[in-house]
């Protein structure tokens, strides 16, 4: 069987969807030496760099039955021709039997039936205000197209599966859960001496609380800032809050709150941090806090647990599923967040216990298992 894969998303290795796409597809290629694969991509900018990412992926997978097919169609032309990253002509040209997209960008309304797509979350249904009406309506339409025209939907968590069933009316039998994994070769507890080198790089001079996410409203960082204002004065003098992540949309209120924080030396904003450094920031933190009000999965808490950092997350959407009993779950309110932070900082025995439990919890999420689930679905559609 020839399986076509939309490889457009895996080139964005710094984004959550890009990470999921890269590691999942690499593992599929590693595990499946029976079928043939074609990785389809369309890009003009950074052509050599992005092409090399695809070539490296194939090399890492050691799959000799895989090829890449790249075109340079301007996005405006592509969008005028179809609403997909992969025009149907490519599919027929390569005699593809089944098409897989690690994003809900299937080949819809054209008679091609054997398709499997990934849906990460339905934030545009539950929190459309964070993306705006126009963009939310677009994503909702794409999701509806996916569930109508694809034979199988991959959800990245049980929470997302439940959302798809309840909000889009999809039967449970049509959905398979394929959890993200964690790169345990990278995200692991690091020696404190090595952590200090990275802390110096980002000008972190005190023990610190850590949060890793895009700086946007859905991540609920304003509640975290208020929670920190509720901490005892002695805590704010002793610790820093390190915010890791690029700036997102509609975050003017958040940035104003950061600029007007009572202690201007308390907050450190690093911007984007590569994974190689991030592992050390997780390992060096006293507490990792993730108060997001909605997630399809939530990779940062998983990475933090793998590095042995005690974790506090909100009790919403998929986060209880990710953390299990290995972290502290709270209502995403300033008072609840502040109390949980104090509870860990004042109780070293609890911090050690959560660190050990988090490492064990993170080991449950394995790329190999998710890849095998999807390969099994490929076989069922043969």
Strands of 240-244's sheet, edge to edge?
A: 267-271, 240-244, 208-212, 287-290, 311-314, 328-330
Tell whether 15 and 134 lie within a shared domain. Answer: yes
Q: How far apart (Å, rounded) are the C-alpha atoms in residues 364 and 250?
A: 35
The reply to whether 187 falls in a domain is: no
Categorize the per-residue pLDDT at 133 as very low, low, confident or very high, splitting at 50, 70 and 90. confident
Categorize the per-residue pLDDT at 81 as very low, low, confident or very high, splitting at 50, 70 and 90. very low
Owning domain of residue 8: 2-181+366-380
Question: Which is more confident, 109 or 324?
Answer: 324
Looking at the predicted structure, is the pLDDT value of residue 291 above 80? yes
E strand or H helix at 356 = helix 348-362
The reply to whether 251 falls in a domain is: yes
Between helices 334-345 and 221-229, what is the axis angle to 10°? 60
- Could you read off the pLDDT of 331-381 as tens digits, one per residue? 999 999 999 999 999 999 999 999 999 999 999 999 999 999 999 999 998
Domain count for the chain: 2
Categorize the per-residue pLDDT at 165 as very low, low, confident or very high, splitting at 50, 70 and 90. very high
Task: Please state which of the ranges 148-152, 203-207, 246-250 shows the lowest mean pLDDT.
Answer: 246-250
The reply to whether 308 falls in a domain is: yes
Tell whether 174 and 229 lie within a shared domain. Answer: no
Looking at the predicted structure, is the pLDDT value of residue 321 above 90? yes
Categorize the per-residue pLDDT at 23 as very low, low, confident or very high, splitting at 50, 70 and 90. very high
Looking at the predicted structure, is the pLDDT value of residue 82 above 50? no
Tell whether 173 and 217 lie within a shared domain. Answer: no
Looking at the predicted structure, is the pLDDT value of residue 326 above 60? yes
Please give the model's pTM, rounded to 2 decimal places.
Answer: 0.91
CATH code of the domain containing 246: 3.40.50.2000
- Could you read off the pLDDT of 44-77 as tens digits, one per residue? 677 788 889 899 999 999 999 999 988 776 655 5
């Amino acid at each position: 069987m020839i399986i076509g894969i939309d490889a457009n998303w895996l080139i964005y290795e710094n984004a959550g969807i890009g990470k999921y796409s890269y590691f999942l597809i690499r593992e599929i290629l590693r595990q499946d030496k029976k079928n043939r694969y074609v990785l389809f991509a369309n890009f003009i900018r950074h052509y050599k760099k992005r092409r090399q990412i695809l070539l490296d992926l194939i090399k890492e997978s050691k799959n000799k039955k895989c090829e890449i097919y790249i075109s340079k169609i301007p996005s405006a032309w592509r969008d005028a021709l179809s609403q997909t990253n992969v025009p149907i002509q490519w599919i027929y040209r390569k005699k593809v039997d089944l098409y897989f997209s690690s994003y809900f960008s299937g080949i819809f309304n054209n008679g091609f039936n054997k398709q499997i797509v990934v849906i990460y979350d339905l934030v545009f249904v539950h929190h459309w205000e964070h993306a705006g009406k126009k963009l939310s309506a677009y994503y909702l339409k794409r999701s509806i197209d996916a569930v109508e025209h694809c034979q199988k939907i991959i959800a990245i968590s049980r929470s997302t599966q439940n959302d798809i069933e309840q909000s889009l009316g999809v039967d449970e039998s049509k959905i398979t859960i394929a959890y993200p994994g964690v790169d345990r070769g990278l995200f692991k507890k690091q020696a404190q001496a090595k952590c200090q080198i990275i802390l110096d790089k980002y000008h972190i001079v005190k023990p610190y609380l850590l949060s890793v996410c895009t700086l946007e409203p859905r991540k609920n960082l304003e509640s975290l800032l208020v929670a920190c204002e509720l901490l005892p004065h002695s805590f704010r003098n002793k610790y820093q809050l390190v915010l890791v992540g690029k700036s997102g949309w509609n975050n003017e209120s958040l940035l104003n709150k950061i600029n007007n924080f009572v202690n201007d030396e308390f907050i450190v904003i690093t911007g984007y941090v590569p994974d190689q450094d991030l592992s050390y920031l997780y390992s060096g933190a006293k507490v990792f806090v993730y108060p997001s009000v909605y997630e399809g999965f939530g990779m940062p808490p998983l990475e933090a647990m793998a590095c042995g950092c005690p974790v506090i997350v909100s009790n919403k959407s998929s986060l209880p599923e990710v953390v299990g009993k290995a972290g502290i779950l709270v209502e995403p309110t300033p008072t609840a967040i502040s109390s949980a932070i104090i509870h860990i900082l004042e109780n070293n025995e609890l911090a050690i216990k959560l660190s050990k439990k988090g490492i064990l919890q993170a080991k449950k999420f394995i790329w190999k298992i998710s890849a095998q689930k999807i390969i099994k679905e490929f076989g069922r559609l043969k």
